[in-house]
Amino acid sequence: MLSTDSYNHVDYHQSGFTLIELMISLVLGLIISAAVMQIYIISVKTSSVQASGSELQDASVFGLQQLEKKVRLANLGNPATRIDATTAQGGIVLTGANLGIASYTNTGYLTRRAGDSAAGTDGWTGISNTSVASDQLTIQYTNITDSAFSDCEGSNVEVNDIAIERYFLRLATSDSSSGAIKNLVLACDAGRVINAAAATTIATFSGSDSRNFGKAGQEFIVNADQFKVLLGVQYDTGVNAGKIIYLPSSAYLSITGDKPAITSLKLGLLVHGSTPILGSDDQTSFTLLGQSNELKTDTARQKQVRATYETTTLLRNARVVNVKTSL
C-alpha cells in the first residue's frame, strides 16, 4: 500500500494531438472541403445548363413548329398559285399590291428586312439583341375550309375570311431592362382583309378586339434574340430556270423586271433560356441563315444558354412547274 507521501508524487500524463497532426488534419480537411465545393459548383452549373436547355426545347422548338404550321397556310384560297410582289392576295405580303391596296402606306406591317422603310403604329422596327437588325414576315390566306380555325392570336378565322398575320420581334410586355440586351419576344399580330368590289381594305373592329391589324400583337415565342427570313425564289427561264435561290426580301424587291416566283421560306431564330448559367462564359457569336451575328455588349446581362434554330418550309399553296426541254 502506498503511503500518502508516495501517492502525492505519482505523475499523471495526458495524451493529445501534436501540432504536426493538427496541421495535417487541417490540410486534409481543406482538400476534402475543396473537392466537395467543386462537385457542388459543377452540379449547380450542370443543373442550370440543363434547365435552360429544357426551356429552349419546351418554348422555342414548340413555338417554331407552330410558326411553320401557320406559314404553310400562306396563299391558301388564292386562285393564283404564283406568288410575287404584285400577286393580289399573295401569300407572302411584300407590297400593298399583295393586299390589293395599291396606296397602302403602313410599310411597317409588310414583310421587312434591315434597310427597308417602316411606318405604322406598333410596326416593325428591326430590334434585336445582336449586331444585325431583325426581319418581319407577313403572310396572308383565305379560310376555304368548311369550318373556322384560330389565327395566331387565338381569334376565329371564319369560313371565307381573309386573314393577315405578321411575325416580328418586339420588347416583352414586362420588359424593364436598361442595358443593350433587351427582353424580346417573337410576336404575332393578326388581322382581316375585306376584299370588296369597290375597294379592298383592312378590317377594323371595335375596342381591343385582337383582329384589329397593326397592334402590338400576341407573344408567340419568348426569350427571342433574333429573327431572320429568306425567300426561296424559283426562276421560270434563264440560266437559273428551275433552281431555288434564297434571298432577303429587300434583295428580292430590288430585282428589276419580272420577279421570280416565291415557293418557299427559310426562317431563323436565335433564342435563350431564362435560367442564368454559372461558372463559365456563354456563347456570343452565332451564324443564322448564313449571316454572322454578334451579341450586343452588355456588362450587366446575365449569362444564358443560347441556341439557333433554322427551318425551311415549302409553300404548299404556291406551286411553280418548270419543264425544261432540249433537242
DSSP 3-state helix, strand, coil percentages of the chain (rounded to 5)?
20, 30, 50
Provide the pLDDT for residue 323: 45
Report how far Cα 32 is from the mean position of its chain's Cα atoms. Answer: 45
Q: How far is residue 28's CA from residue 280's CA, in Å, rounded to a whole number?
A: 28
User: What pTM, to 2 d.p., does this model score?
Assistant: 0.82
- First-last CA distance in the chain: 134
DSSP 108: G
- According to DSSP, the β-strands at 162-171 and 218-234 are unpaired
Q: pLDDT tens digits, residue range 166-185? A: 999 999 998 888 899 999 99
The grid coordinates listed for 17 are 494531438
Q: Cite the DSSP H helix spans in the chain.
A: 4-7, 19-55, 62-71, 96-99, 249-253
CA distance 270 to 127: 13
- What span, in angstroms and rounded, lies between the C-alpha atoms of 92 and 88? 10
CA–CA distance, 263 with 75 (Å, rounded to integer): 11
Contacts of 283 (CB under 8 A, 6+ apart): 306
Residue 318 Ramachandran class (φ > 0 left, ψ -120 to 50 alpha, else beta): beta
Q: Are 306 and 128 in contact (CB under 8 A)?
A: no
pLDDT, residue 21, reads: 75
Nearest residue to 113 (alpha-carbon basis) of 90, 138, 96, 130: 138
Residue-level pLDDT at 325: 42
Residue 247 CB neighbour total at 10 angstroms: 18
* pLDDT for residue 13: 59
The pLDDT value given to residue 327: 42
pLDDT tens figures, 288-320? 999 999 999 998 888 888 889 999 999 989 876
Residue 40 backbone dihedrals phi, psi, to 5 degrees: -65, -45
Q: What is the pLDDT along the chain (327 residues), one digit of tens a residue?
A: 555 555 555 555 556 668 787 788 888 888 888 877 777 666 656 665 566 556 666 656 678 888 999 999 999 999 999 999 999 999 999 999 999 998 999 999 999 998 898 999 999 999 999 999 999 999 999 999 999 999 999 999 999 999 999 999 999 998 888 899 999 999 999 999 999 887 899 999 998 999 999 999 999 998 999 999 999 998 877 777 778 899 999 999 999 988 999 999 999 999 988 777 766 678 899 999 999 999 999 988 888 888 899 999 999 898 765 544 444
Question: What number of other Cβ atoms are within 10 A of residue 22's Cβ?
Answer: 11
Query: Which of 134, 214, 114, 222 minimizes the C-alpha distance to 175?
Result: 222
Q: How far apart are CA 116 and CA 167, in angstroms?
A: 16
Q: Report the 10 Å Cβ neighbour count for 181.
A: 18
CA 66/CA 63 separation, integer angstroms? 5
* Cβ(139)–Cβ(74) below 8 Å: yes
